[in-house]
Structure 1
Amino acid sequence: MASELWSWVQVSDPAFPPVRGQYKSTLVCPECNKISVTFDPFMYLSLPLPSTVTRMMTVTVFSGTGDSLPMPYTVTVPKNGVCRDLCKALSDACCLKESETLLLGEVYDYRIYRYFSPLELLHIIKDGDQLVAYKLPAGHEKLLRIEILHRNVDR
């Protein structure tokens, strides 16, 4: 059927530019249920582009008191956002209490590699980076931070 219509288009309008495809339209009459099929030629077809303004990030959230298991959360954040945006999205996802805040860090080679400041840009974090967040009491900046590294030493 499409080839018949294409032959008709070429005969009826020889100046018609060559097309790349035909779009099939099917209509059904609501009164008599007659089916009408047409093939409309097109040169270009507009398709929506995927959104590039957001990105998905997965962060493992640890309880500051150790009363629950670490839980991974995947959140959507602005691609050009800052770490504060990631912490806000995580706070909503893990139902953070008002008396708590998150300390965001990166793990590399099984140890804390670095901590992120709230104004650091998210685009510096690669998709493969392993991110962690610790639930801490609000005002944790005044507290002393001690990191303990467990390691098995072979003799």
Structure 2
Amino acid sequence: IPLPPPLPPSSLDRQTEKYPTSSAFTSSIQQKDTTLTSTVSSLSSTIGFTGIYNPANSCFMNAAIQCLSNTRELRDYFLQSYHLSELNRTNPLGMKGAIAEEFGDLIKNLWSGKYNWTNAQKLRNYAAKRHQEFVGNGQHDAQELLTILLDAVHEDLNRVITKPQVPPIEDQGRPDHVVADEYWRGYLRRNDSIIVQLFTGQFKSKTKCPQCHKESVTFDPFTTLSVPLPKRTAVDTIVTYRNEQKPPIKYRIVMSADGLISELKRNLSNKCGLPTNKMIAYRIRNNRVVDHLKDDDRLTSTGYSWNNNDIIY
């Protein structure tokens, strides 16, 4: 669902005589202006190759920081010091700008071209102040740290000084894009920062009452999204030509473990040249036909019990 553009920034005391404001940067994002990127890229051939010191078990944090550091629009925002004009020192949910300032300093070190490595321990200490589980040198989940860091930087840069109360929203059977737009504008009344502009989206959730069967739709914000990594598997296949004098040929197809039989046929067709509409698939175990496989069946279908000796024929 397309989201409306962010609302104009709320009034915030900016030191415009010292730091640039974000209006020019926001415009560059919307117009896909590459001026900032080209300016940075021309500084040094070693820019962007700075690592992060990895004491104890901090690789999870370093991975998250490097991902954010290589998000071009976010990187340029901090390199050009736009964040210094938007620090929210009064937000009770933030850290009076400390995390945003430290993150900005870290980004500048990573892209200065002056260092082989830099240290992010101070940023981790700030994260530990907000979330006690990061105290010490234990290993943690990189996505968890990424979510916490984005939220912390957002609150330090939130352009909304006084957050208004937003009334509950009822979908009332209206189209999704209308309801989503209303939720989004309500969210922007309380949250407006570079993090929101670059990373925030909305989940659509639908609930249905088991008694009256009434459905309600809500839209909730997110900054990170978990997606499963596809598991690959090797499938042994034997192609047998019924009406031609060709010997059976064995192929090994590597594909997603939960892929469809139709996908298997396409991959097999690319190898043997036989059109998919000429293929009929069976699963063979111990020289016996176990199942006839349809195109919309999955390799990991619960109706099948696979083992390493199974062959698709």
Rg larger in structure = 1
Q: Which has the higher helix share?
A: 2
- TM-score relative to the length of structure 2: 0.26
Query: As a proportion of its length, which structure holds more strand?
Result: 1
TM-score, normalised relative to structure 1: 0.48
